[in-house]
Amino acid sequence: MSVLCDVRQNPVSMKYGFSKRQLQNACDRIGVSYVHMPELGIESQKRKHLNSRSDYDSLFRDYVNTTIRDNDSALKSIIRLVGDNGRVALTCFEADASYCHRGCVANALLARSDFGHLVAHL
């Protein structure tokens, strides 16, 4: 079974089908397991004033130095999910991974000696 790992802190959305319950139900219907990891999310307040690439770079530096550093157990959980299921998709809201913290999560996984898998940004 494949897994959709939602790394949003607050999995709510005005976009139809993208709120937690709707997304989870859609995953269930197609045989994909849904896992929510709010501990890997970014607080809404920190995302309010992102107007330039520099703003995103600053946010992501802070994210890596705090959230990623402080949530090793969440990264280990993702590694177990990959080991148990073969395929895990990280999801958030941004379409472009370079403007989304899921790219930071993927980079943190790639940097680990216990990961050893390929990452593709879709």
| 58-106 residue pLDDT tens | 999 999 999 999 999 999 999 999 999 988 999 988 888 888 999 999 9
The type of residue at 36 is: H
- As a whole number of angstroms, the distance between CA 81 and CA 8 comes to 17
The pLDDT-based confidence of 115 (bands split at 50, 70, 90) is very high
pLDDT digits (tens, 9 = 90+) for 28-50: 999 999 999 999 999 888 888 89
Residue 17 in this model has a pLDDT that exceeds 70: no
Domain boundaries, the chain: 2-110
- DSSP string covering the chain: -EEEEE--SS---SSTT-SHHHHHHHHHHTTEEEEE-GGGS--GGGGTT--SHHHHHHHHHHHIIIIIHH-HHHHHHHHHHHHHHS-EEEE-S-SSGGGSHHHHHHHHHHT-TTT-------
**What pLDDT was estimated at residue 48?**
85
Banded pLDDT at 16 (limits 50, 70, 90): low
Confidence band, pLDDT 50/70/90 cuts, at residue 116: confident
Tokens representing 122 are 């879709």
- Unique residue bearing structure tokens 């709510």: 12
